[in-house]
Amino acid sequence: MSTTPKMKSSFFLGCIAPNRYPGIEVATIKTAKNLGLELVELKGAGCCPAPGAFGSMDLLTWEALAARNVCLSEQMGLNCSVVCNGCYKSLYDVNEKLKENPEEKDKVNKILKLADMEFQGSIEVRHVAEQLYNDVGIKKIRDSVVQPLNGIKVGIHYGCHLLKPGRDRKFTNPEAFGTETPRFLDEMVEALGAKSIDYKDKTMCCGAGGGVRGYKIDFALDMTNEKLRNMQAVGVDCIVDVCPFCHLQFDKGQAEIAEKFGDKYNIPVLHYGQLLGLAQGMSPDELGLEAHVIKVDSLLDKIV
């Protein structure tokens, strides 16, 4: 039985959101507040650490650093909310593994001792998008809309680490959170008055993960290019994601793709928090949209 409050969590920021796309940070905090979900400042967190770019080198170090972040939230007595699929994998997977495997927990705690920390296994790790769907609910999200999104066509990108591998996830509604045909984000986008458009290979990865963006950026961009091509083919007005790394890959990536491959798309990219913010009546500036590489003006024109 959890003694942690339901509608209040610590907010684990990760790296890309606070340090490259702070609009996502603001949007998430404000929109969650409007829906009764309080996201409280978490002090002293660091990189989750990146499951691909870092975990590839040493899994024990990855576990220890992730556990350190979870400990910070344990010390607050709050569940820990993330806004990024990569952070979700690091914190959720390590949290579950150490809870279930006492030997591994001891191994990690020996290392954490050096940082004066001890992993207890007393909290849950959640992704804000999943909290909005399950704890807040579609109806409340719909009711919070003051600026319906006028049927704009959204290409949803679910990302990878939130849902996969399905066997290692314990969502209460597996149909909406399935790995082959997930529906929960589609519902959340349509609740805002937008239209979710299906496209070829919708559940495909953006290509950035696993350290590939750092090591072989052409491979990563080629994957992103395939996704953009598929989305453009069905005429999406924007891309909506729930992971700042995918967000970066699609946003900055379009500029990189234009330069390397010559393909130009100009499709605005929004994190779900930012889309929700627009629907809740916040201004584009408030949501940090001006800082995006791909300008969102064309999209905003369609909404008003």
- Residue 100 beta carbon to other proteins: minimum distance, rounded to whole angstroms: 14
Query: Which residue reads 């319906």 in tokens?
Result: 148
- Between the CA atoms of 117, 118, 119 and 122, what dihedral angle is there, to the nearest 10 degrees? -100
- Residue 224 beta carbon to other proteins: minimum distance, rounded to whole angstroms: 11
Question: By C-beta, is 7 or 57 nearer to other proteins?
Answer: 57
- Going by C-beta distance under 8 Å and a sequence separation of 6 or more, which residues neighbour residue 292? 21, 23, 251, 268, 269
Backbone angles phi, psi at 95, to 5 degrees: -55, -50
- Residue 276 beta carbon to other proteins: minimum distance, rounded to whole angstroms: 16
Other CB atoms within a 10 A radius of the CB of residue 40 amount to 13
Question: By C-beta, is 134 or 203 nearer to other proteins?
Answer: 203
Question: By C-beta, is 71 or 279 nearer to other proteins?
Answer: 71
Question: By C-beta, is 143 or 290 nearer to other proteins?
Answer: 290
- Residue 19 beta carbon to other proteins: minimum distance, rounded to whole angstroms: 4
- Residue 249 beta carbon to other proteins: minimum distance, rounded to whole angstroms: 10
Q: In 3-state terms, what secondary structure has residue 107?
A: helix
Q: Which two tokens stand for residue 237?
A: 């007005």
Question: By C-beta, is 164 or 195 nearer to other proteins?
Answer: 164
Burial class (CB in 10 A: 0-12, 13-18, 19+), 124: middle
| DSSP per-residue codes, 151-205 | T-EEEEE--STTT-SGGG---S-TTTT-SSS--HHHHHHHTTT-EE---TTTT--
Question: By C-beta, is 148 or 178 nearer to other proteins?
Answer: 178
- Residue 143 beta carbon to other proteins: minimum distance, rounded to whole angstroms: 26
Question: By C-beta, is 55 or 136 nearer to other proteins?
Answer: 55
**Structural Rg of the chain based on CA atoms:** 19
Tell me how far the alpha carbon of residue 122 is from its chain's centroid.
Answer: 23
11 in Cβ contact with 40 (< 8 Å): yes
- Residue 37 beta carbon to other proteins: minimum distance, rounded to whole angstroms: 18
- Residue 198 beta carbon to other proteins: minimum distance, rounded to whole angstroms: 9
CA dist 243 and 108 (Å) reads 27
* Cα three-residue angle 56-270-155, rounded to 5 degrees: 90
Query: Which residue reads 């606070």 in tokens?
Result: 18
Question: By C-beta, is 64 or 191 nearer to other proteins?
Answer: 64
